[in-house]
Structure formats: C-alpha cells, structure tokens
Amino acid sequence: MNQSNHYPADFTWGVATSAFQIEGGANADGKGPSIWDTFCLNPNNIKDQSDGTVACDHYNRYREDVGLISSLGVDAYRFSMAWARVQPSGKGAWNEAGFGFYDRLLDELAAKDVKAHLTLYHWDLPQGLQDDGGWLNRDTAHRFADYAHEVARRFGNRIDAIATHNEPWCSANLGYGNAQFAPGVADARQAIQVSHHLLLSHGLAMTSMRAAASSAQLGIVLNQWTADPATGSELDRAMAELEYARSVQWFMDPIFKGRYPELALRAHGENAPVVHDGDMAAIAQPIDFLGVNYYFRSFCSAETPPRTPPGKLGFTDMGWEIYPQGLTELLVKLNAEYMLPPIYITENGMANPDAVSDGKVSDPARIAYVQMHLDALKAAMEQGVDVRGYFLWSLLDNFEWNSGYAKRFGIVHVDYETQARTLKDSAIWYRDFLSAQRQR
C-alpha cells in the first residue's frame, strides 16, 4: 500500500457480519423461522447440504466476538438484526427475549467503545410473512416499516447508523429471479415487482424511523458495480449500458431521482412493476448515508459463449474477478450522476480457501486485495467523492448462503466443529494498519 494514503482522522473503520450467517440460535428464546431456515431444509439448495442452525454460534459467543472486534482496533461494527428473532412471524407481538439479545450485544459494544451500525434486513424474512406472499405481497412493505419503527424506538439512540436493506438487488434477483437464494423463486416478473416493494419498504421505513425520533444516521446499503463492455462492439456496449441501468440505476434512480431508469423500464416491458400513486415519492425520502458494497465489475459480452473477464489480478474463491479500479470508477460515476449523501463502503472483501497451519492462517491474497481496494477508494476520495468509512467483509468465516460453509470470507478463521476462532494474517494486518493510521 502507498503509505501516503492516510485517511481523515474521523474516517470510520469497521468489520461487518449478518445475522443468519453467524448467529445460529435458530430456535432459541422464541425466534421464529426465516425464509433461509426454510430454504435450507431442501438439501439441493445449499452446495454442502448445510444450514444456519448453529453457524458461528454468535448468539452464545457474542461477548467473545465483540472482544475480537475490539482487539482489532476498529471504530465500528456493522451487523444485522434477525427480524424473526424479535418478531417471530413478522407481524403481531414482539419477542422480548429476542430484543434482549440485541440489547446485550449493544451493551457489549458500548463497553468496548465500538460504534454500532445496524442493518434491519439482510435477506432473512420471517417465514410467517412469506406464507402471506413474501415480498411479492405489497403489505410486507408496511410490516417492514412497523418493524423499523419499533427498532428505532427501542435502540435508535444507542446506534450510530441504521440501514434499511442490505443489497435489495440480491433479494429480488437471486431470491425471485433465478432461485439461487431464498425463497427460491425463478420468475422475472416477480423479481421486478419484488424490487419495487423492497424499495417501497425502504421509503416507508425511513419515514417511520424518523417518526421515532432516533438519533441514528439512516440509509440503505446497495451492492454496485461498473458494467464494462468486453469489446468495443455495439452489442457489447449496449449490453453494458442496459446492465448498469437494470442493476445500479434501478435502485439509485428511485431513491435519488424519484423515478425508474427509462432504459430498464423499456427492457422490462410488460414485466415492469406495478407502481401505485405516491410510491415514488415515498421511496425518494432523503437519506443520511449511502452504503456501497463492492466486490467486482460486470463484464458484458454478447458473444456465445460470452468472453470471460481478463482477471489480470486473479479471481477470488467465488470466481469473482479482482478489479479494484472498478471501485474508483463506480464511485466517481455515482458522484457525477447523483446528489449523494456521505458514502460508506459497507462491504468489501474476498473468499479465500484458508486453513489453519501451526496455529496460524496465512492469507496474503486477502491482504493484497484489501490494500488494492483501499488504494482505489482513496483515489475516488481524491477525486471529490465523500466517503466516510470502510467496513471489511467479513469479521468471521460464516454461512455463505447457497455456498454453505465452503467459502471463507472472514479475517477470523472459524473451526465449525469446535467454534474456535483464529485471527488470520489479514486480521493482524488490518489491526496494524489501523494502528498506524491513528499514529499519523
């Protein structure tokens, strides 16, 4: 890393996780089932036939895990709440025992002087709401706003930031578009309608949380990428333009411009979402921050078979091209296109086939990945993009959705048999990097 790349003194450094991926405690203390609990019941859905019943047992080991977080010297911890833990069916009575877990977690973070950045929804819809139609049912957006209000009312003055959704693109396109994620639907029209209801739920939740007089910064987290044509051909260029419109602009334009992008609407044709009067105004609520998750670019080839990305810097264990300059390009492009609030990089990291050897985990590829992306982030900041923080994904190896436990994103290795945690070299590097930042 370029050692001149020091960041503002008030820059927020963090690590991130999500509830279903680490908590376990699937049936503990009155928690209801989520769509991911249900999805995992079909062994064909998860590559290693595993589930999230125990995961990293964070529900029981949160004190140890907060101790790890504190030992790294980070400023903040980004985590999500399991909706079905605090409201088992997604409507009706609240589960005080479930809220009690998050109350204790927040106490522990405060005791270690670690700021809390909460995500309300990281893909684990209560199964009770799925039984009523899930995100395809417009009413779910209103139930989400009720949930958001209750969380903000209870905890809004103990949390620094609350994001409504994590990566609604994934909830819609992987959950409803190709059945890769829960609830396992493959229907393009449903996916597009679900994306609208997710955005609507975000807007309604922003309004309901503001009504709760929370002091937390409020926003949303979107996974984003540049869309690059594989060649200079007209077909590739058109494909890249449409890809960007259908992914990045599809979620950004409603929030910041109060409308869907025309190019994507035309492409969707009769699959375009049903939008009620007032929906776009509800979605376009001002937000205090934008969370951006960046892992790779989209490489658009209209050829058959499509050209593969060049991967000059290699590929992660997920098969994703390592392309740090895409982060600079994306942020500069967003900054030119929208009137943005402050940005946080809420996820960035890599899966790597890590193993413990002599009590240590050597992961030089991950260290290089993070260094390159931090350099790319600094380059965007130097071009005027207002970035306030960076959260490394992930704190722990965890349940990687339909990949099960086969993919390791953590900077802390987890032995799933014993639940032993081992700091990888990347965790030690991150700790030392942050210490050096503060000494400047």
- Reported as a pLDDT band with limits 50, 70 and 90, residue 375 is very high
List pLDDT tens digits, range 80-100. 999 999 999 999 999 999 999
List pLDDT tens digits, range 269-289. 999 999 999 999 999 999 999
Residue 296 is encoded by which pair of tokens?
A: 């790779």
What are the residues whose beta carbons fall under 8 Å from the beta carbon of 162, sequence distance 6 or more? 117, 118, 119, 120, 148, 151, 152, 156, 209, 214, 216, 217, 218, 219
List pLDDT tens digits, range 317-332. 999 999 999 999 999 9
**What is the rounded average pLDDT for all residues in the chain?**
97
Residue 217 clears pLDDT 90, i.e. is over it: yes
pLDDT for the residue numbered 1: 43
Q: What are phi and psi of 351, to 5 degrees?
A: -85, 140
Residue 66 is encoded by which pair of tokens?
A: 């907060």
Cis bond before residue 126 (omega within 30° of 0)? no
- CA 160, CA 12: separation in Å to the nearest integer? 11
pLDDT for the residue numbered 198: 99
Q: Are 48 and 91 in contact (CB under 8 A)?
A: no
- Reported as a pLDDT band with limits 50, 70 and 90, residue 350 is very high
- Reported as a pLDDT band with limits 50, 70 and 90, residue 3 is very low
Q: What are phi and psi of 300, to 5 degrees?
A: -105, 115
- CA 155, CA 78: separation in Å to the nearest integer? 15
pTM value surpassing 0.75: yes
Q: Are 265 and 272 in contact (CB under 8 A)?
A: yes
pLDDT for the residue numbered 232: 98
What are the residues whose beta carbons fall under 8 Å from the beta carbon of 74, sequence distance 6 or more? 13, 14, 15, 114, 430, 434
pLDDT for the residue numbered 2: 46
Q: Are 420 and 396 in contact (CB under 8 A)?
A: no
Q: Are 68 and 430 in contact (CB under 8 A)?
A: no
Q: Is 382 a catalytic residue?
A: no
Q: Is 23 a catalytic residue?
A: no
Share of the chain above pLDDT 70, in %: 99
pLDDT for the residue numbered 133: 98
Catalytic residue among 23, 108, 167, 400: 167
pLDDT for the residue numbered 376: 98
List pLDDT tens digits, range 288-311. 999 999 999 999 999 999 999 999
- CA 247, CA 347: separation in Å to the nearest integer? 17
Catalytic residue among 23, 243, 321, 347: 347
- CA 99, CA 324: separation in Å to the nearest integer? 39
The burial of 332, by beta-carbon neighbours within 10 Å (0-12 exposed, 13-18 middle, 19 or more buried), is given as middle
The closest alpha carbon to 198, from 148, 151, 152, belongs to 148
- CA 284, CA 220: separation in Å to the nearest integer? 12
The closest alpha carbon to 174, from 148, 128, 135, 133, belongs to 135
List pLDDT tens digits, range 16-51. 999 999 999 999 999 999 999 999 999 899 999 999
Residue 13 clears pLDDT 70, i.e. is over it: yes
